[in-house]
């Protein structure tokens, strides 16, 4: 028991090495730019100040988005997606897979879950012991099921998914712009050092290496950013891009697409003025407030299945518990051309979901 715990702690500590590496590179780039370039190399005060202002704007946004991606706790399924005690005991006693699926199908009928495995079975996580909501997957590194999981990123030591996908895309965008600013402002001094127009000083190595590192990172980050912007426009995750989600009528890579505008709003929020900032830009449901959005969504889904939402155990359960902003998930009715979603407004706030 103790060796297993020790190995797990060592593994978690090792997972921070890529994050440490990135922070060391960023820290050195800050020193090389601010001290070696702006303080020791640039002779003109106006140029020095303008460079420092622009640099710090993009540096701040880059670091802000990066640490928001790292520090955001992955959203996991709510307790409503766990098996009730009676069904859980039956499931654990049952040895035949067919009988287990019958139990899961009975439970899933009362849940807003519409995707299946490739074989048409209910998606169930034996480790977390929950019926997986649509777009939810189990992360072996984080040891939990993650809502709208895109991938586990070692460079942020975190799962990229529902709770931080916007922050991750902004991190890539600002990292690219950070590299562009460095390359654009350093290149003239890079050329001067390279062609011996400036004397050899301790700043030479830092400026030459800074340009090469920034250019290298820009090329690699830009390709990744382009790919994720394409995913945002399609409302797909990396997992769904490689393996299409399976609905009752078969696999459909565009199963969650709402049209380009709504797909972008799904990630960045409904208010464009917040898109550039690594903040939650949707009017998130507050803890302790009944999730009207989920209730309306289930009402809309019930029109397809002719089942009153008020009869659902999930609704009855949610009416009596405190639900956090990340505990509701979005799905799609089989055969529908768009995801069932909507807005509920009251006198105080508008809830988006």
Sign of CA dihedral 66, 222, 326, 347: positive
Distance CA 68, CA 156 (A): 10
DSSP string, 9-21: HHHHHHTTHHHHH
Task: Give yes or no: 153 in active site.
Answer: yes
List all residues 6 or more positions away from 172 whose beta carbon is below 8 Å from its beta carbon.
Answer: 221, 224, 225, 228
Query: What backbone phi and psi angles, to 5 degrees, belong to 137?
Result: -140, 155
Distance CA 51, CA 17 (A): 31
Distance CA 208, CA 32 (A): 10
Catalytic residue among 136, 153, 326, 352: 153
The DSSP symbol for 197 reads S
Token pair 């490689």 is at which residue? 242
Buried/exposed 266-281: b ≥16 CB within 10 Å, e otherwise: bbbbbeeeebebbebb
**Contact by Cβ (8 Å): 74, 168:** no
The residues assigned a catalytic role are 153
């Amino acid at each position: 028991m103790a060796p297993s715990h020790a190995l797990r702690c060592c593994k978690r500590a090792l997972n921070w090495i890529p994050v440490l590496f990135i922070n060391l590179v960023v820290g050195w780039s800050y020193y090389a730019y601010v001290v070696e370039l702006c303080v020791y190399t640039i002779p003109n005060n106006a140029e020095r100040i303008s460079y420092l202002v622009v640099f710090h704007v993009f540096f701040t946004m880059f670091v802000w988005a990066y640490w928001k991606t790292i520090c955001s706790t992955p959203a996991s399924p709510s307790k409503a997606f766990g098996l009730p005690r009676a069904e859980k005991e039956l499931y654990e006693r049952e040895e035949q897979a067919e009988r287990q699926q019958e139990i899961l199908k009975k439970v899933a009928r009362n849940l807003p879950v519409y995707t299946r495995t490739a074989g048409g079975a209910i998606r169930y996580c034996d480790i977390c012991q929950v019926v997986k909501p649509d777009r939810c997957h189990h992360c072996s590194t984080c040891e939990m099921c993650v809502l709208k999981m895109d991938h586990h990123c070692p460079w942020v030591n975190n799962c990229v998914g529902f709770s931080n996908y916007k922050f991750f895309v902004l991190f890539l965008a600002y990292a690219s712009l950070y590299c562009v600013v460095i390359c654009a402002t350093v290149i003239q001094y890079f050329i001067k050092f390279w062609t011996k127009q400036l004397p050899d000083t301790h700043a030479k190595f830092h400026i030459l290496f800074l340009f090469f590192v920034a250019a290298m990172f820009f090329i690699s980050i830009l390709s990744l950013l382009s790919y994720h912007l394409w995913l945002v426009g399609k409302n797909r995750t990396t997992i769904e891009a490689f393996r299409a989600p399976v609905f009752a009528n078969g696999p459909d890579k565009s199963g969650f697409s709402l049209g380009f505008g709504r797909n972008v709003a799904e990630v960045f929020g409904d208010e464009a003025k917040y898109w550039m900032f690594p903040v939650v830009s949707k009017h998130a449901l507050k803890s302790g407030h009944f999730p009207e959005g989920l209730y309306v969504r289930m009402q809309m889904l019930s029109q397809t299945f002719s089942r009153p939402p008020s009869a659902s155990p999930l609704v009855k359960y949610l009416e009596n518990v405190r639900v956090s902003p990340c505990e509701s998930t979005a799905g799609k009715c089989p055969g529908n051309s768009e995801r069932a979603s909507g807005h509920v407004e009251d006198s105080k706030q508008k809830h988006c979901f």
